[in-house]
Chain A
């Protein structure tokens, strides 16, 4: 029985496998903080609106384009990073609110 459990653990967690990370990005004073995220495929970014106005995460980059929808103050939204590459996240309502994201394989 012990051998069976050990074998199962090896199959489920291959050597070198890292757990997906969550990167938290604040939306505060009309800016993303931090304004650059380096992540790995499989990670997530959690956007937290700490402002008193609405924001809306929008990625226009081809291959990564997504609109997370309107976020009222205090609300959160999660972006899943499914593949490697680089893209920019903007805010629909605030043209100069930018976040650069680099996703490694």
Chain B
């Protein structure tokens, strides 16, 4: 018969193991995402002089339904580009949108997998999402901090499933950009 002490120790060990596995390391660099994923939105960031390209993996794009939680396996990418400069100010197109330069500065990922959120305390947990930060060559950002990702995305709990743009895009009927 298993004693409560052994059960408790096993539970603690499992929790510690889950906590050790949590974090950006369990999100892999999505090689070739620009060709394989769907570019569903572009967000101007005039205060930083950047344009953010928003990608989602094609299977999750096709499976996502309005008002339903996003599918497990969803990978969302936010790819930062510098805005092109003309003279001493950012260039704008005929619609007043910032014009992105080719150069990518950072690649941020969020991925949803069954049970991933269990390693996080309730006040931080974003459902089953986790976050990672890569440089354009696919290497991990060495000094990356993720508290800001969790605290900010917590503001889109519920129908938006912790996402600022993708669930809204699904709710809006997946319009072409």
Contact = CB atoms under 8 A, between A and B. Distances in A.
A94 B164 CA distance: 12
Interface string A81-92: 111000000001
Nearest to B158: A95
A66 B160 contact: no
Interface in B21-65: 40-48, 52
Contact of A67 (B43, B92, B175): B43
Size category, A interface:
10 to 19
Contacts, number: 59
B96 A82 contact: yes
B155 A93 contact: yes
B177 interface: yes
A82 B49 CA distance: 17
A17 interface: no
A63 B177 contact: yes
Contact of A94 (B52, B155, B176): B155
Interface stretch (B112-120, B127-135, B165-173): B165-173
Nearest to A82: B96
A1 to B, nearest CB: 34
A80 interface: yes
B156 interface: yes
Contacts of A81: 96
B45 A66 contact: yes
B97 interface: yes
B169 A60 contact: yes
A68 B48 CA distance: 9
Contact of B44 (A62, A67, A92, A95): A67
A95 B96 CA distance: 27
A60 B41 contact: yes
A61 B45 contact: no
Nearest to A87: B172
A60 B168 contact: yes
A69 interface: yes
Interface of B: 40-48, 52, 92, 94-97, 152, 155-158, 160, 164-165, 168-169, 172, 175-177
28 contacts: A58-B164, A60-B164, A60-B168, A62-B40, A62-B175, A62-B176, A63-B175, A63-B177, A65-B165, A66-B44, A66-B45, A66-B46, A67-B43, A67-B45, A67-B47, A67-B52, A69-B48, A80-B96, A81-B96, A82-B94, A82-B96, A82-B97, A83-B96, A92-B152, A93-B155, A94-B155, A95-B157, A95-B160
